[in-house]
């Protein structure tokens, strides 16, 4: 799976993809994540990527030309399944959307800044708009990193068995069960006996019940 991320601040995306599971996925050749500097596609002496909003008001708006040039260039090289704009007014990202995206081939992600991007980029190019929650960040880079992380860890072969995504929260409309590791007794705070029993079916049953209980208490909406 290939992600092309278009941003005016590529430096913001260096670290998130250079560690742990995302780094491994790229090394294994399962995911390719390419960050493009929007400014490289800007024409004009100033290489400007933003301008004053029509109608007045505060904040700058990202212009069409550099995004169009970068997207057209990418599309001339391969087909894309989706061109996603990260935006607080988009559909809220969830595990089901991450699952849908994890079986796609090529995706472009656009990161906005300032007041946002010229509406016409959204009208002409964008096929899907995703928000990472009801709050406003200063740019689309962190949301893009969140999206790529959520999707890449679901691609078969990325996670090893020990970190399997199948029992994670939301994967089956349940939150995950609590987890414990050594020592079995920490100053009198003990690990539940069942987890030390070696009885796998009983442990599975306990985990399922715990997941149900936790979901009932914290996220009853998931059980509806």
The yes or no reply on residue 121 touching ligand SAH (CB under 6 A) is no
Cα–Cα distance, 215 to 70 (Å, whole number): 44
Q: Which of 11, 105, 133, 157 binds ligand SAH (CB under 6 A)?
A: 133
Instruction: Compute how many other C-beta atoms are within 10 angstroms of the C-beta atom of residue 213.
Output: 14
Residue 41 in marked binding region = no
- The DSSP code for 105 is S
DSSP string spanning 123-161?
A: HHT-SEEEESSSS--SBSHHHHHHHHHHHHTTSTTSS-G
d(Cα 208, Cα 192) in Å, to the nearest integer?
Answer: 14
Instruction: For residue 82, say whether it is annotated as part of any ligand binding site.
Output: no
Segment interacting with ligand SAH (CB under 6 A) among 13-21, 23-31, 134-142, 158-166: 134-142
Please identify, among the stretches 70-78, 126-134, 153-161, 193-201, the one whose residues bind ligand SAH according to the rule CB under 6 A: 126-134
135 annotated binding-site participant = yes
Question: Exactly one of 24, 115, 128, 214 binds ligand SAH (CB under 6 A); which one?
Answer: 115
125 is in an annotated binding site: no
Q: Does 113 bind ligand SAH (CB under 6 A)?
A: yes
Per CB under 6 A, residues contacting ligand SAH are 86-89, 111-113, 115-116, 131-133, 135-137, 139-140, 143
């Amino acid at each position: 799976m290939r992600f092309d991320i278009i941003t005016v601040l590529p430096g913001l995306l260096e670290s998130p993809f250079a560690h742990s599971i995302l780094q491994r996925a790229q090394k294994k050749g399962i995911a390719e994540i390419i960050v493009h500097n929007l400014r490289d596609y800007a024409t004009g002496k100033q290489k400007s990527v933003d301008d004053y909003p029509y109608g007045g008001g505060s904040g700058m708006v990202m212009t069409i030309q550099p995004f169009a040039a970068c997207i057209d260039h990418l599309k001339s090289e391969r087909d894309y399944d989706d061109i996603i704009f990260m935006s607080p007014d988009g559909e809220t990202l969830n595990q089901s959307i991450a699952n849908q995206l994890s079986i796609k081939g090529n995706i472009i992600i656009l990161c906005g800044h300032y007041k946002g991007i010229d509406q016409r980029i959204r009208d002409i190019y964008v096929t899907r708009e995703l928000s990472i929650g009801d709050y406003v960040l200063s740019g689309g880079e962190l949301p893009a990193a969140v999206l790529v992380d959520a999707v890449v860890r679901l691609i078969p072969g990325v996670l090893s068995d020990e970190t399997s995504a199948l029992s994670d929260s939301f994967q089956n409309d349940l939150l995950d069960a609590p987890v414990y590791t050594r020592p079995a007794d920490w100053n009198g705070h003990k690990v539940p006996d069942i987890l030390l029993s070696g009885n796998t079916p009983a442990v599975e049953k306990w985990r399922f019940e715990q997941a149900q209980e936790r979901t009932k208490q914290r996220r009853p909406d998931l059980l509806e």
